[in-house]
Amino acid sequence: DTEVTQTPKHLVMGMTNKKSLKCEQHMGHRAMYWYKQKAKKPPELMFVYSYEKLSINESVPSRFSPECPNSSLLNLHLHALQPEDSALYLCASSQVTPRVLFFGSGTQLSVL
Amino acid sequence: QQQVKQSPQSLIVQKGGISIINCAYENTAFDYFPWYQQFPGKGPALLIAIRPDVSEKKEGRFTISFNKSAKQFSLHIMDSQPGDSATYFCAASEYGGSQGNLIFGKGTKLSVKP
């Protein structure tokens, strides 16, 4: 199984809502990532977990809160988002080294 | 020094033609150069990758050419098909390096006309 599964595929939320994005992989990868991608732009790194511990936080606002419950699951909790946070949110996984990234299909988020 | 410069921004090719996308980098510590293909509404998928100890790698219709001295690499798509229409991102990183140092180019939107 070489798949990274993300749910939901689409999400519309208001600025006062709390929602969560979920990501799952069964490739035995011990590094997992959240990326944000705006239209016509490359993915931008948000967070990296290595062995279930947060290893990189690219100065992301606190309204985004990642969580790694176990080696197969990665969540991104969303609260009080702004319209400019509307984007495609991508999860990826890799071996710790070498870092060949496998991406999920993403969650298309719209903040109203 | 962390940038990867990609060109062209968009490319239109007739079916059966050759699509060529170019990338250049500055950081000589980079030693892994993947290309990702992304269809609308989908995540990027690894297409092909190369390490600088080889000058060319071919997988089916897709070929990476690598010029270490010029710090440039390119993707060639032979016999381009409408199904190849997608956005292509080159990237660079250190193969055994720390997480988070995968640097993407800005992307090339390829349209293959029937």
pLDDT at position B31 is 87
Q: How confident is the model at residue B1 (pLDDT cuts 50, 70, 90)?
A: low
Q: How confident is the model at residue B45 (pLDDT cuts 50, 70, 90)?
A: very high
Cross-chain Cβ contact B43/A98 below 8 Å: no
d(CA B82, CA B70): 32
pLDDT at position B96 is 67
d(CA A79, CA A88): 16
pLDDT at A1 over 80: no
pLDDT at position B105 is 96
Distance from CA of A7 to the nearest CA of B (A): 13
In whole angstroms, how large is the CA radius of gyration of chain A? 13
pLDDT at B46 over 70: yes
Of B96, B102, B107, which has the smallest distance from its Cβ to A101's Cβ?
B102
Cross-chain Cβ contact A50/B45 below 8 Å: no
Distance from CA of B79 to the nearest CA of A (A): 25
User: What value does the mean pLDDT take over residues B106-112?
Assistant: 98
A90 touches B43 (CB < 8 A)? yes
pLDDT at position B100 is 67
Q: Which residue of A has its CA nearest to B46?
A: A102
**Residue of A44, A45, A96, A99 to mutate when probing chain B, most B C-beta within 10 A:** A99
Of B32, B42, B49, which has the smallest distance from its Cβ to A105's Cβ?
B42
Cross-chain Cβ contact A41/B109 below 8 Å: no
pLDDT at position A4 is 96
Q: What does B41-97 look like in DSSP terms, one character per residue?
A: TS--EEEEEE-TT-SEEEETTEEEEEETTTTEEEEEESS--GGG-EEEEEEEB-TTS
pLDDT at B99 over 70: no
Percent of chain A whose predicted confidence (pLDDT) is above 90: 81
User: What value does the mean pLDDT take over residues B103-111?
Assistant: 96
User: Cβ contacts (< 8 Å) between B105 and chain A: which residues?
Assistant: 42
pLDDT at position B2 is 65
pLDDT at position B94 is 80
User: Cβ contacts (< 8 Å) between B106 and chain A: which residues?
Assistant: 41-42
**What residues have CB less than 8 Å from B60, skipping those under 6 apart?**
none
Q: How confident is the model at residue A84 (pLDDT cuts 50, 70, 90)?
A: very high
pLDDT at A23 over 90: yes
Model pLDDT for residues A46-67, shown as the tens digit of each residue:
999 999 999 888 889 999 999 9
User: What value does the mean pLDDT take over residues B14-27?
Assistant: 97
Cross-chain Cβ contact B106/A105 below 8 Å: no
User: What value does the mean pLDDT take over residues B21-30?
Assistant: 93
Q: How confident is the model at residue B39 (pLDDT cuts 50, 70, 90)?
A: very high
Model pLDDT for residues B49-83, shown as the tens digit of each residue:
999 889 999 999 999 999 999 999 999 999 999 99
